[in-house]
Amino acid sequence: MASYIITGGKTLHGVAETKTAKNSALACMCASLLTNEPVTLKEIPRIEDVNDLEAVLKSIGVNIRWSGNDMTLIAPKKINLKEINSQTASKIRVILLFIGALANRLKNFSLPRAGGCKLGKRTITPHLFGLEKLGMKISCDPTAYKIKKPHGLHGTKIVMYESGDTSTENVIMAAVLARGRTVIKLASANYMVQDLCYLLNAMGAKISNIGLTTLIIDGVEKLHGALHYIVPDPIESMFWISLAATTNSSLLIKGCPEEFLELELLKLEKMGFKYSVVKKYKSKSGFFNLVDIKTRPSKLIALDDKIDARPFPGLNIDNLPFFVPIASQAKGTTMIHDWCYENRSIYYMEFQKLGAMVRLADPHRVFIEGPTQLKANQVMSPPALRPATILVIGMLAATGKSTLYNTYSIDRGYENLYGRLKKLGADIKEVK
């Protein structure tokens, strides 16, 4: 178990580059199973979740080649799930996407139950209800999902039971090769869903209304290989923004996906956060608007209203935790309402160990009083990516030497985070 040793209380400076999106990369890797031609994904982040998914894909015969951070995947003509790396597959939630990706290649199959962040009960019923409308029969036991496809897949109208990112992606991947037209209503329009749709269209799919909550998919007979640039990660951009706001630092944050940070930045602006957009340009794929943001030291005030998340174009659910360290430095009381997950707000209470004044109202709501001078401490990292990462921000703002134990959760989603923080002047060491 690796640990971070952080001596905080320092102002940071320099340039923070936004890496490509973990959630997009994982979905696009799964989409390679829809063809046996080469799919090249440009600028894949080198993170543990990618390593785990790579191991699972290799175990079922997918040929994977790396060139720097570019990955080329070639799925075999015949998929054999008997040799699947079940131990690794059960660690990652993205294994759910194998259902949609393999639905048109296998008649009957089973997959290990999904893992991922420990965030309380995480329902998969939106996946099941959507996929069953296309013609699948799915059952679950304590260790596996069992999928049957009695009469092939057919297009239909689907109202998503929940506007989830992964469930929408699952239905999309099954629908692109189904017979006829599929209309998905209440679909997620989040960045990773859009990115997956752009890749699938490059592979020969016919998906329209990308970026809207009603998707129209006309099934095609087969898909082919493609080259695709992964979108930069708005959640990583938000990490750097939160770091700048919490440590009162001037940072140049490059490659921020503008459309997926607009509400976050508006709320921060109303909290007194000072920043400017210094450059606007297109992503390498040509589909997303990026901006470079320059932050400035700011005096923060709490918002009168609660801060909560919503499906896109609302405040991103994965960005909500980054308001916890910010709120600890804002004058007044901030209420953060994390309605989506059963346990994530409980992890926010770890900030008390750094001296923050955090009060848990119920499993979904916390009240944070600020501003507070954070103090160093030794903390065990929570088994969830974003709650673990915000502790790094808190420790960098805290006076004294802190230790964050077991940083695997952070390595799941951030490439070389401690090394990149060092370049900004952070006093941080990784101990293995």
Which residues belong to the active site? 117
List all residues 6 or more positions away from 222 whose beta carbon is below 8 Å from its beta carbon.
35, 177, 204
Strand order through the sheet with 206-208: 157-159, 181-185, 214-218, 206-208
Collapsing DSSP to helix, strand or coil, 278 comes out as strand
- Whose CA is closest to 379, among 403, 347, 343? 403
Element (H, E) at 138: strand 137-140
- Crossing angle between the packed helical segments 22-31 and 165-175, to the nearest 10 degrees: 20
Structure tokens at 386: 């974003």
Number of alpha carbons in the 13 Å side-chain half-sphere of residue 317: 18
φ, ψ at 164 (rounded to 5°)? -90, 150
**What's the one-letter identity of residue 392?**
V
DSSP state of 182: E
Q: Which segments within 297-399 are labelled E, that is strand? A: 300-301, 307-308, 330-337, 357-362, 365-370, 378-380
